[in-house]
Structure 1
Amino acid sequence: MENQKIDNLDKKIINALVNNARTPYAELAKHCGVSPATIHVRIEKLKSLAIIEGTHLRVNEKKLGYDVCCFIGINLKSAGDYPAVLAQLKNIDEVVEAYYTTGQYGIFIKILCPSIDDLQWLLIDKIQSIEQVQATETLISLQNPIHRSIVL
């Protein structure tokens, strides 16, 4: 799919909503120097183009007891194993992101879990037990100092 054409007003709206998705249309209109009706039309256009894909709530995982964040590179037995492994990873609640990648790993996933003991159980009993997984490498995140969306 080619990049969609958006203008400066669209960019202002997107940046404002990335900063706070709950910003009222009237406030966006004032900030952008247009009417609330224009904001409504533009947001609907951005939704119809799938540039805006809903609104999201950000949860502080540590406050909920998820103290371990890690990334796991997964080597597959063969490239054709990707769909089967992905289907099994989707059933593991602790897998919060997955990427099909080039380079050393076929799949790169992000895991959130309460403890190192939970991570060990997850690796042994859930991920490494998937038949098509040849090997894994785990990288534990110590902190996440940058967490943002793209700025237009």
Structure 2
Amino acid sequence: MWETENHSTIRLDEVDLKIIRQLQSNARITNKDLAAQLNLTTTPIYERVKRLEKMGVINSYVALINPVKVGKGLMALCMVRLEKHTKDKLAAFEKHVANIPEVVECYHLAGQYDYHLKILVRDMNTFQDFIVNKLSTNENLANVQSSFVMSKITDTTAIPMLRNS
């Protein structure tokens, strides 16, 4: 059993977990090929995938793009601290960063910093422009600490699908 965001329970059996693992590895796999890999027929696989989609376990199918190949060779991780933490100030900052295309991930944190941003840009000049002309235009910004990724050690979008975790 798995608990959802609204605390309802979803029952996933081993076949569901295998389907999810396969789709995370290759979202373009056909139901026929998926059925063959799991030693099932196509119809139950189709029905299970549709059920997983309907339950919100599967949110979407995407193509993962190599950022370097499309001119986004610099990845920066920015830790952001805000001046004020009122509900409206937090919402305004979140709306602000959600509208900046260079921000590909944004997390609201507990701890020393308020937000963690993942930024993809072409180069250091583009990053400077991002900081000066986009991020720092939010008047509630108190501090930004940036680090630059030198190399990726692990990079996956797959969520571990272990039976008892």
TM category, shorter: over 0.9
Match of 2:131 in 1: 123
Which runs of 5 or more structure 1 residues have no equivalent in the other structure? none
Identity, in percent, stands at 24
CA apart distance, 1:63: 0.9
Match of 1:96 in 2: 104
| In structure 2, distance between residues paired with 1:144 and 1:56 | 21
| In structure 2, distance between residues paired with 1:135 and 1:4 | 41
Are the counterparts in 2 of residues 82 and 106 from structure 1 also a CA contact under 8 Å? Answer: no
Which runs of 5 or more structure 2 residues have no equivalent in the other structure? 1-5
Match of 2:51 in 1: 45
State the TM-score, normalized to the length of structure 1: 0.96
Amino acid at match of 1:37: T
| In structure 2, distance between residues paired with 1:92 and 1:54 | 22
Amino acid at match of 1:90: A
CA deviation string 1:71-128 (max 9, x = no partner): 1111011222211011111111101010011111111110000010110111122112
Number of residue equivalences: 152
Structure 1 runs of 4+ aligned residues shifted over 3 Å read none
> Which of the residues 101, 105, 114 maps onto 2:113?
105
Match of 1:151 in 2: 160
State the TM-score, normalized to the length of structure 2: 0.88
